[in-house]
Structure 1
Amino acid sequence: MAKTISTEELKAKIDGGAQDFHLVDVLSANSYEARHVPSAKNVPMGDDFIERFEKEITDDKNAEVIVYCSSSTCQASVNAAATLEDAGYTNVSHYQDGLAGWQDAGLEFAEGSK
């Protein structure tokens, strides 16, 4: 089962300029364009998730990956973490508070498709 990461831990990684991890928003492209955690890339959870993830994010099974969705009640990121682990990824974390936790902490969002 994937590890969890807190809002504070994730913010520290982003603020520290860490380049050694992949932050992935697994919500729809429309949701991602409206708002996302800064530095996140978008790979919506779906039937082609692993194929898109390997093509667009990384095929390095040892890479640090952090996935999130809308909130602690959203299951998309839980499913994404499990799917990644089933595909052989060994360093997967789940930011369980998601967009709601980021907002509740008063943190800034990024917008747009990048």
Structure 2
Amino acid sequence: MKQSLVSFAVALSLAVPAAAFACDGEGHAAAEPKKVTISELAKLQAAKTVRTVDANNPDFRAKNGVIPGAILLTSSSSFEPEKELGADKTQKLVFYCASTMCGASHMAAARAMEAGYADVAVLPDGLTGWKKAGQKTVSPKPNS
């Protein structure tokens, strides 16, 4: 009996925090950023209907380049959204990092969503997938 109560208490303590992060308090799952494919992002860029956001660190950018026109975040976890992304919270933003093994784009996208940006997506394949698909990259230049 005692072991059953302990097991129940442990299970409950693990479930409650997970539930708190998975729900916005109104019975809806917490918002996840949309996912876009490489071809979808290329089309959005060609139509000039997206702002692409690089969540990689400066060393990675220097070695691997960036997607042309990308906003270069100072940090994926502590950047200032309005300062680095602009005041228009209705603009379409697509965040990317290195690859599917990197979580920086998801972290940065979540930060943007928390700041009130409404149209936020991630490119799961990241810069590695972008390059493998034959898409162009450029050397990083500081944001102007």
TM-score (normalised: structure 2): 0.69
1:24 aligned residue (53, 63, 66): 53
TM-superposed CA distance for 1:33, in Å, is: 3.7
Aligned runs of 1:18-97 on 2, under 5 Å? 18=48, 20-34=49-63, 35-43=65-73, 44-47=75-78, 49=79, 51=80, 53-97=81-125
TM-superposed CA distance for 1:5, in Å, is: 0.6
**Are the equivalent residues in 1 in contact too, given 2:38–2:125 (CA < 8 A)?**
yes
TM-superposed CA distance for 1:70, in Å, is: 0.2
User: Which residue type is aligned with residue 72 of structure 2?
Assistant: N
2:43 aligns with: 12
Moved over 3 A (4+): none
User: Which residue type is aligned with residue 30 of structure 1?
Assistant: D
Which structure has the highest helix share of the two? 2
CA-to-partner distance for each residue in 1:28-79, whole Å, 9 max, x for gaps? 12323440111111003132x1x2x311321222111110000011000011
Could you tell me how far apart the structure 1 residues matched to 2:41 and 2:91 are?
16
The percent identity for this pair of structures is 31
TM-superposed CA distance for 1:94, in Å, is: 0.5
**Are the equivalent residues in 1 in contact too, given 2:77–2:104 (CA < 8 A)?**
no
Could you tell me how far apart the structure 1 residues matched to 2:117 and 2:107 are?
14
Q: Secondary structure at the match of 1:83?
A: helix
Q: Secondary structure at the match of 1:93?
A: strand
Could you tell me how far apart the structure 2 residues matched to 1:108 and 1:69 are?
15
2:34 aligns with: 3
Could you tell me how far apart the structure 2 residues matched to 1:14 and 1:87 are?
24
Q: Which has the larger Rg?
A: 2
**Structure 1: stretches of 5+ with no match in the other structure:** none
User: Which residue type is aligned with residue 40 of structure 1?
Assistant: A
**Are the equivalent residues in 2 in contact too, given 1:32–1:113 (CA < 8 A)?**
no
Q: Secondary structure at the match of 1:23?
A: strand
Number of aligned residue pairs: give it.
Answer: 109
TM-score (normalised: structure 1): 0.85
